[in-house]
Structure 1
Amino acid sequence: MKLTVCFILFYASMCAANKSNRNTITVEPEPYAILGFGLELLLTKLDHIHSELHKELHKHHASHLATLHKLEQHLSVQSAGCCKGNKGQSSFIISNVISATSTPSSKSEQPSYSSCKNLSTKVSGTYLIRVNSDSEPIKVFCEQEKFGGGWLVVQHRFDGTTNFNRSWIEYRDGFGDVEKEFWFGLEKMHQITTARTHEIIIELMDFSGTYKYARYDAFKIGDESEQYSLNILGTYSGTAGDSMSYSKGMKFTTKDRDNDRLSNTQCAHYTAGAWWHNACTYVNLNGLYVNANNSTSMLWFKFKDNQQGLSFSRMMIREVE
């Protein structure tokens, strides 16, 4: 385009010069007159180009419309032939269309398992398990890397963001987020430990970073009519010390359901935590999340033979073969 403009201006200049040479009287052309003549030629050229482009676009548009019309006719013929000639093939095509247009969630529904131990993967995370083959799947967090994997987490605390001073109904049904701080729920724990034999392990850490654990080779709790009593607690092993055997056989106590053995004290009030309180307890993993040495702290007494609050606790159960 620039070359065309230059040529037009050069041509105009040459014409003006030749005309000047043929005349006996020399007249200096005005600069604005030459520029105006060049611009007029340029605009004429641009109008011509615009007209040609418009014609080409119209041709392409008409061509595309014709192609689309032929394609529609072809598809109609193919569809009619498919329906007349092969009904099974027609169903197959429709099925593929539905499959291709379905949402990702419908195609990649998460599978369910009988327990965390039966997972084929060694990756810790959230999964769906069924207590029985006909029960609804439950979202759980499976620990698949530590202690051989296959552990179902039933309690987890690590930052104090979730309030654990809850009612009986909340402890029965569970609360929190399984990917954050939470309590799994007594009813689900009862169903799982009743359906199959389980063991339990408790991981602990204090605010200075000291890590310990306690493991019991059997664990089972009763149903709500039994007040979710700790019916079975097996033999202890580990590094944290045996603080939980004192709760064996005890019913579960919350701030609004007193099942401990003290007549003049409500242990869930005294410790600010729900548990299988005896009179009261050496374990208060549902107590207050504080770095303090008192009875209301989240504590495991044998950790350091005191009531110093812990910064981390995680209770996990696993199916025993």
Structure 2
Amino acid sequence: MELPVVLLFLVYGLVSGAKQPQGPGNPQESNPQARSKERESNEDGLEREFLYPGQRSRRAAAEPQQPDKCSYTFIVPQQKVTGAICVNRKEPDAALENRVNKQELELLNEELQKQKRQIETLQQLVEVDGGIVNEVKLLRKESRNMNSRVTQLYMQLLHEIIRKRDNALELSQMENRILNQTSEMQQLTNRYKDLEHKYQHLATLANNQSVLIALLEEQCQGRPVSPPRPVPVPQPRPQPPPPPAPSPPINKPYQPPTYPRLTNQITNEIQSDQKSVLPVIPTMPSGTGSPSITTKPSGPWKDCLQALEDGHTASGMYLVKPENANKLMQVWCDQRHDPGGWTVIQRRLDGSVNFFRNWETYKQGFGNIDGEYWLGLENIYWLTNQRNYKLLVTLEDWSGRKVFAEYASFRLEPEADFYKLRVGRYHGNAGDSLTWHNGKQFTTLDRDHDAYTGNCAHYQKGGWWYNACAHSNLNGVWYRGGHYRSRYQDGVYWAEFRGGAYSLKKVSMMIRPNPNTFH
């Protein structure tokens, strides 16, 4: 870079020396302004010739040769220009500085304009982005409001579903209650018809027995037999009149009329029957023969097994008198269940009797002998303490499935020990739900002897040998259909068979002497 500058200065000096004539009379020496202008023009021409040698050669060829000027040709080695070419024309520093400043100002102005345009663009972008941000905020707010509204609607839907479910449950319960009430009304109607029918048969039986007694008295006194006169019987509703007793000839023994089976023909309310007991005949004979001839003992017996051994094989009501007891009692004897001789002490089959009773009622017994009944704690005590007895519990659910539970021994302690339960070894297919109550005293709604802090009888709705509280509750509420809804487990259940929330259809408790066991 230094070589072209030196050559430039040398050329400039030579040109200046050649063009200035010597002599004091040169007018240019006296005019410094003219000399300055000439020098500037020479510098410009030198610069053009140096920077653009091609143009100079073409111009020299085009222009005519001037004899008063000299031309010089300098051959400079070709170099690759990598930076700025410095030309010192020796112009004033102020003008050069002004030019530089002007160029810088123009550059700065252009940069400023460019930055201004960028700022305007950024402002536009910021305005657009700000609008988008505001829209996003509004959308988020609307989304939150929408979520809140959806949550409220969902809660309302849940409440509506729960309310409808509760209404459906209440409606179902109401339907069940209506069905139960209808069933109870039907049962009461049927019961009334049965009682009316029994009344008619009882009236007929009383009439026939009166006639028979009169005939027997006449025969015993050796007097001739006169035709009996039937006693008028009040009829609650029109029924065919009973056939009158035939008048037997004098020379023939009297043949009594054929009586219907008296299984369900006798008034059988337990508490009233225990006070005034009438002899009970399980089956009246229908064959011929003299009434004075007795082929079977008529009782009373110690229990149903003794009646079976005496030849009474028909199930029905029998009159028994336990040993060491000063009272007669009516019981239902089941002679059909193998091997027979079973004394029924409890039975549930249709829910017609309320078993939520007090202590005195459970002690004396209640219900109907040929239907639902409880024989009475005192009666059970006298029966089970005359010899060794075993207990048979039969169960039937609402699908017709029948199971049983048998205990090798069964007896009650006296009232002084609140009729404490004693049961022996279990066997059967119903499951053992009574051993848990072994050794427990009897509890009713007014006598609390259970192991629970409260009174189990209030929760189980019956009387039983409650522990804390019950694994079996055969004296509970009889619910129709099996599964029941109740706040407490108060149905007729045997926990090992269908569980405590299932009310059984039919249950019975029967005892029979068992000589193979000992207390």
Shorter-chain TM-score bucket reads: 0.5 to 0.7
Q: Is the 8 A contact 1:300 1:307 kept in 2?
A: no
Amino acid at match of 1:240: A
| Among 290, 296, 299, the residue aligned to 1:111 | 299
Q: Which has the higher contact order (CA 8 A, sep 6+)?
A: 1
Pairwise mapping of residues 1-321 of structure 1 onto structure 2 (< 5 A)? 95-97=221-223, 110-119=298-307, 120-132=311-323, 135-230=326-421, 232-263=422-453, 265-290=454-479, 291-293=482-484, 295-321=489-515
Q: Is the 8 A contact 2:390 2:511 kept in 1?
A: yes
The CA deviation at 1:132 is 2.0
Any idea what SS the aligned residue of 1:159 has? Answer: coil
* CA distance in 2: counterparts of 1:285 and 1:227, whole angstroms: 19
Q: Is the 8 A contact 1:204 1:313 kept in 2?
A: yes
Which of 93-102 and 187-196 deviates more?
Answer: 93-102
Q: In the superposition, relative to structure 1, how do residues 94 and 166 fare at CA in structure 2: closer, same or farther (>3 Å)?
A: closer
Q: In the superposition, relative to structure 1, how do residues 292 and 116 fare at CA in structure 2: closer, same or farther (>3 Å)?
A: same
Any idea what SS the aligned residue of 1:96 has? Answer: coil
Q: In the superposition, relative to structure 1, how do residues 97 and 166 fare at CA in structure 2: closer, same or farther (>3 Å)?
A: farther
Structure whose residues are more often strand by fraction: 1
* CA distance in 1: counterparts of 2:225 and 2:306, whole angstroms: 30
The CA deviation at 1:145 is 1.2
Q: Is the 8 A contact 2:218 2:225 kept in 1?
A: no
Which of 293-302 and 142-151 deviates more?
Answer: 293-302
Q: Is the 8 A contact 1:229 1:276 kept in 2?
A: yes
Any idea what SS the aligned residue of 1:253 has? Answer: coil
The CA deviation at 1:99 is 9.2
Q: Deviations over 1:55-82 (max 9, x none)?
A: xxxxxxxxxxxxxxxxxxxxxxxxxxxx
* CA distance in 2: counterparts of 1:233 and 1:176, whole angstroms: 25
Identical aligned pairs, as a percentage?
34
Q: In the superposition, relative to structure 1, how do residues 152 and 94 fare at CA in structure 2: closer, same or farther (>3 Å)?
A: closer
Q: Deviations over 1:151-202 (max 9, x none)?
A: 0000011000011111100000000111111000000101111111111001
Q: Is the 8 A contact 2:356 2:463 kept in 1?
A: yes
* CA distance in 2: counterparts of 1:133 and 1:302, whole angstroms: 37
Shift >6 Å, 4+ stretches: 91-94, 98-109
Larger Rg: 2
The CA deviation at 1:93 is 7.1
Any idea what SS the aligned residue of 1:117 has? Answer: helix
Unaligned runs of 5+ in 2: 1-216, 232-255, 257-277, 280-290
The CA deviation at 1:147 is 2.6
The CA deviation at 1:130 is 1.0
Q: In the superposition, relative to structure 1, how do residues 267 and 135 fare at CA in structure 2: closer, same or farther (>3 Å)?
A: same
* CA distance in 1: counterparts of 2:371 and 2:417, whole angstroms: 30
The CA deviation at 1:110 is 4.5
Amino acid at match of 1:277: Y
Q: Is the 8 A contact 1:156 1:180 kept in 2?
A: yes
* CA distance in 1: counterparts of 2:312 and 2:219, whole angstroms: 35
Amino acid at match of 2:441: K
Q: Deviations over 1:13-45 (max 9, x none)?
A: xxxxxxxxxxxxxxxxxxxxxxxxxxxxxxxxx
Q: Is the 8 A contact 1:199 1:218 kept in 2?
A: yes
CA RMSD of aligned residues (A): 2.8
Question: For this pair of structures, how many residues does the alignment match?
Answer: 229
* CA distance in 2: counterparts of 1:177 and 1:196, whole angstroms: 26
The CA deviation at 1:135 is 3.2
Unaligned runs of 5+ in 1: 1-90
* CA distance in 2: counterparts of 1:281 and 1:93, whole angstroms: 61
* CA distance in 2: counterparts of 1:99 and 1:115, whole angstroms: 39
The CA deviation at 1:97 is 3.9
* CA distance in 2: counterparts of 1:275 and 1:198, whole angstroms: 19
Match of 2:50 in 1: none
* CA distance in 1: counterparts of 2:321 and 2:303, whole angstroms: 7
* CA distance in 2: counterparts of 1:134 and 1:306, whole angstroms: 38
* CA distance in 2: counterparts of 1:277 and 1:94, whole angstroms: 57
Q: Is the 8 A contact 1:157 1:313 kept in 2?
A: yes
* CA distance in 2: counterparts of 1:173 and 1:298, whole angstroms: 21
Q: In the superposition, relative to structure 1, how do residues 134 and 310 fare at CA in structure 2: closer, same or farther (>3 Å)?
A: closer
* CA distance in 2: counterparts of 1:217 and 1:143, whole angstroms: 19
What is the TM-score when the length of structure 2 is the normalising length?
0.41
